[in-house]
Structure 1
C-alpha cells in the first residue's frame, strides 16, 4: 500500500510540473521567443519530403513562449494537403494564428505565429509593394497576449520581399502600424535583408535588434553566410536582451532558427 501511495504522489508531482512548464519562462521574469523560416516543412537535403515533426522537435527543444514562422503551406498540393499551421500547433501544444500571403496550389501560403499563451487578439496587415514591379503579396501578422503578471504585449511576424524596392515600402508600413503602440512590441521574421541595408535602418528608427555585434549568419542551413532572420524589440520597452542564439547544425529547413530571451523588468 505504501508503494502505491508513493507512486501516486510521484505521478501527481509530475503532472503539476508538466502543467506549469509552458508558462515557466514568463513566470521567472523572462520571455523566450523564436523566429524560424521552415521552408514549408521541407528539409533542403530531402526533396519532396514534408517533415513537420522535425520542425516541431526543434521548437519543443527550445521551449519558446512565442514563435514567428515563415513559409507555411495550408492545404496545398505541394505539402500533401496538410494544414501545416494546425499540425504544428498540435505537435507543439501551442496556440496558432495564420496570415496568408498568396494562394498556392489549391491552398494558401504565408506566415504564422505560435504562442504558449492564449491569444487575446489577432491582426493581419497586407504589406505594400512598388507598382509596376513584380511582387509576391507579403503580410504582417500580429497577436496580443497576456503574460503572467498581467503584462500585455504585441508579437509580430513578417517575411519581407526579396527586392529592395518593395522592402523599403514594407518596413515603412510596419513602422506605421507598430510604432504608435504604447505597450511592448516584438517583431520577428525573415527580413530578406542584412543589418547594413537601408531598410533595416528605417526599422531601427523604432526597433532594436537582439544582436548588435558579431552576429551569426542564419541562412542557408549548410555553411550559413547571411544574417537575414531577426528579432527586434520596440524602443522604450521595459524588456532587455539576456541572450541571443542562432541554432547551428539544424537542417530541418534551409534557414537556421534564432532564439532570443528577454528579461522582463518589474
Structure 2
C-alpha cells in the first residue's frame, strides 16, 4: 500500500471502530444513564455535552506533545474500549467505556488535512457491516464470529495508525501526484471546514443517508396494499439492491471532484430534498429520502475536500520543520473543528429525540443539519483534485457496493404464514413492551428478548416500543431482527414517526390491516391503534395492538376511549383481542373505558399481575382484553430483564 494512502486507511478503519462505539454510547445515555424516560431530557443533554470535556484538551495536548504520540495513545484507548464493550456486562461500565473516541478524532484531525476519502470509506464500510449483520451491532454479538471480526478490525486499525507518519509525503514519494492548487482565501486554515462537518455528516449518515435499518423499514412499507394502508409488512423474501445503489452513489459522489455547478447547487439541493422528505414523516417517502440523502451527502462532502493532492496529512511550513505538527496552528484548529463538529452531532441527536419528551417538532433537526452541510458545500472553495483516483479506491468502492447488495440477500424475512389445518380451538397471545430491544442492563440482547417472547409459546405477539432505525438507539431494525428469530412475519404501524411504533407478529395469515393515529391530548409521544385480521383456517380473528401515551400528570382516558371505539368498529362482530402497554391500572378511569365498551379483562383471574418495572414489578400497565364469548386461561407474566416491562401471555379459547 502506498504511503500516501495510509492516513485515509487509518481514518476509515478508525471511523468504523468509532461508529461501533457510538452505537453503544447513544442508547446507553437512555437505557443506562436515563433509565428510559426516568431522567429529564435536559439532564440527558447535559450528560452528552460532558462527553466533550476530555476531548477539548486534545488539541492542547497535540501542540505540547506532538500529534503522533497523542494519536497513537488515543487509538489504543479507542481500540481497547471497543473490545471491552463486547465483554462488558452492561450498566455503568458500558456507559463509561462507550465515552471513548473523541480524543483520537481530535488528534487525527491535527495531521489529516483531507478527511473526506477516509471518512467516506469509513461511513460506507460501517453501513455495509451493519447491513451484513442485519442491522445488529457487532459489539453486541460476542461468540466466536463477533470476537474474531472485532479483533481483526481493531488490529487492522492499530496497524494502520502505527504505520501512518505525520510528515506529508513529497513528490519523491509519489512523482505522479499533481501539483498543489493555490490556497483559496475563503477556506481558512487547511482542512478546518471538512473536519467541522464530520459530526454533522455522521448524524445525517446514521439517521438517514447510510442507515440500513431505515431502508429495511422503507422497503417493508412497499408491501402494503389497499388492504393495509400505511402499514409495513414482512417483505416476500426478494433481495433489495437499493442499499447497494445508495452506497455506490454515495462513494461515487464523495470521491469524485464535481463540476462547480453540480457541487454548489445540485448536491446541496439533493441533500436538502432527502432531509425534507425524511422530516415529512411519510412512510412511502422514506426510500426516496434515503437515496437522495446518500447521493447529496456524498456530493457535499466532496466539495469540502480541500488540501494537498498528494498526501492527506498536514504539510505547512511548521509541519515540514517538525514532522509532527507540533507548532502548526492549523493543526490545533482542525482538532477544535473536529470536536466542535461532534458537539453538533451530540446536540442534534439529543435534540431530535428529546422532542418526544418535551413535545416540540423535531423535523428541523435533520433538515437543519443537512442545511449546514449544504451551505458549507455551496460556499466553500473548489476541491483540490478528484478523490476517486487509482484502482485501489475504485475497487474498494465497488466491493462495498457489492457487499451491500449481498446483505440484502442474506437476511430474508419469513415467508407468509399458511392457514392452519385443522382450525385451532385456542390462540396463545403475548403482549410485550420491548423497549427497542434493550434490557435493564442497557445491552441489546435480541436472543434474550426472543426467549422471553417464545417462552410464552405464542401464536400472536403484540409488541410496543418497536424501533426500526432510531439513531439514538443504535440504528437497528429491531422488528426484523426479532421476527427473524421467532420465525414469524410481521405487520408494523408507525406511531411517533415511520420507524417507531407497534407491531403484530402472527403464525396465522394476516388478511387485512388498518392503523389509526390517536390524538395526542397533550402527550408528547405519538400513539396509534393497529388492527389486523387473522385467518384461523376459515374463521377470522380481529387483533388490535396499541401503546397508550398519557398526558403529563393524567391518565390516557381519551386515547383509551378512541382505541376501544376503533377496536369494536374494526372487529365488526368478529372475535376480538386487544392488548399492549396501556399505561393504566385496573382501577383507573382509562381502564374502565375498555370495560365500558363491552370488552373483558383477559388477565382478571391472575390479578394482581404487575409488569413494570421488570426488576421490581409494582404496576399493572400491560393488558389484554377480549370480546365476550372468548375464554381466557393460562395467564402468565414470566420474569425477565430483557426489557423494562414483563411480557404477559394468555391462552384465548375460541367459541
Map 1:186-265 to 2 at 5 A. Answer: 186-205=577-596, 206-212=598-604, 214-235=607-628, 238-248=629-639, 250-265=640-655
More off after superposition, 173-182 vs 202-211: 173-182
Deviation at 1:179, TM superposition (A): 1.8
**1:40-119 equivalence runs, <5 A:** 40-45=436-441, 47=442, 49-103=443-497, 108-119=499-510
50-59 vs 36-45, greater mean Cα deviation: 50-59
State how far apart, in whole Å, the 1-side matches of 2:555 and 2:603 are. 25
SS in 2 for 1:179: helix
Select the structure that is richer in strand. 1
Instruction: Kindly state the Cα deviation for residue 151 of structure 1 after the two structures are TM-superposed.
Output: 1.4
TM-score relative to the length of structure 1:
0.81
**Residue 176 of structure 1, CA deviation:** 2.0
- Compared with structure 1, are the counterparts of its residues 61 and 26 closer, same or farther at alpha carbon in structure 2 (3 Å cutoff)? farther
> 516, 525, 528: which one pairs with 1:139?
528
Tell me how many residue pairs correspond in the alignment: 233
Question: 2-side partners of 1:204 and 1:93: how far apart?
Answer: 34
- Give the 3-state SS of the residue equivalent to 1:62 in structure 2: coil
State the 1:162 CA deviation.
2.8
For residues 152-205 of structure 1, give each alpha carbon's deviation from its aligned partner in whole angstroms, at most 9, with x where no partner exists: 011111110133757121111112212232101110000111000011111111
Structure with max Cα Rg: 2
Separation in structure 2 between the aligned mates of residue 29 and residue 70 of structure 1, nearest angstrom: 27
Deviations 1:117-144 (A, max 9, x none): 12111211101122xx352110111111
Q: Describe the shift of the 1:84–1:193 C-alpha distance in structure 2 as closer, same or farther (beyond 3 A).
A: same
Counterpart CA distance in 2 for 1:69 and 1:260 is 15
Residue equivalent to 1:4 = none
TM (norm. structure 2) is 0.34
Gaps of 5+ in 1: 1-21
Q: CA deviation at 1:219?
A: 0.6
User: Any unmatched runs of 5+ in structure 2?
Assistant: 1-417
The Cα offsets for residues 216-254 of structure 1, whole Å up to 9 and x where unpaired, read as 20111112111100000023xx32112211112x11001
More helix by share: 2
Structure of higher RCO (CA pairs closer than 8 Å, 6+ residues apart): 1
